[in-house]
Structure 1
């Protein structure tokens, strides 16, 4: 063991003879500056759009009573949504992408359909089981309520009722028409 200690001592003393505290500080400063420049290097980013623009093609329902593009945040059903749109992730406004499961626990919103001027009750179900889709993030809080009414709040991970609490995307299922009042 003393041979290793002697070798370590000789190496330490040799380095101490050839360097100074200022040199050590200069080396640490250069290393920190170099490390800060690493994110600026040209690398492939996973969240960048695919070649050819990568934008989702418009997805209209084909029903004149359900107007709008289901891949855009301004689609009428998404008035209280907070999350990635399942329409951009392999599912639809009513369905989860393959490999995910719809949470039975939801938050509720009321959105007005521009085609008929009526308000509809929308159930926002999270799809769970795979990591976040990462496409078409929407955060609309038009019908969001404070946390005193959690059933109307969109800032909770609603995947608690599924086999996996990993969030993927959100749907907007029409439950029925709202009462006029």
Structure 2
């Protein structure tokens, strides 16, 4: 019995020491600030975007019977200006190993011939490796002048990354475009 009492006393002293250390290091205002931030963050959580279609809108992705994803005529490349990553060791929407997606990108609105819907497509340059010698596509549908940066594809979008070297470009579906 004495051994159990000793263990409880040891746990009690340890809990008391750690609570006193925390109380000395933080004040009520700090606690109220953190509690308020947690409550505000929790109230904003339902406003975050999420896929309301549960992936159904993208079921057509790459499913075109006549769509060659290595051809510049593929529907998702309507505003692409660059080398295709799926010919450079990557995929349609993933950079090749050893490169990283640009932190900034341009966006195009492309019509999928399978379902006749318009989709927002984010074009990200993959940075950090030498330029790939794959297919070069220049399909500037809907391009705007250089002062409209998010709709202009003629610059090196790797400028925001640590490694500025351009390798290739991916076309990532963002979602359905509003009518």
Q: CA RMSD in A?
A: 1.2
Please report how far the alpha carbon of residue 163 of structure 1 lies from its aligned counterpart in structure 2 after TM superposition: 1.9
Structure 1 unaligned residues grouped into runs of 5+:
1-62
1:85 equivalent in alignment to 2:81:
no
Distance 2:61 2:169 in 1: 22
Bigger fraction of residues in helix = 2
1:63-142 equivalences in 2 (<5 Å): 66=62, 67=64, 68-142=67-141
Deviating beyond 2 angstroms after TM superposition, the runs of 4 or more aligned structure 1 residues are 63-66
Q: How many residues align?
A: 118
Deviations 1:3-29 (A, max 9, x none): xxxxxxxxxxxxxxxxxxxxxxxxxxx
Which position in structure 2 is the counterpart of 1:169? 168
Distance 2:177 2:143 in 1: 17
Structure 2 unaligned residues grouped into runs of 5+:
1-58
Please report how far the alpha carbon of residue 148 of structure 1 lies from its aligned counterpart in structure 2 after TM superposition: 2.5
SS of 1:87's equivalent? Answer: helix
Structure 2 length normalisation: TM-score?
A: 0.64
SS of 2:126's equivalent? Answer: strand
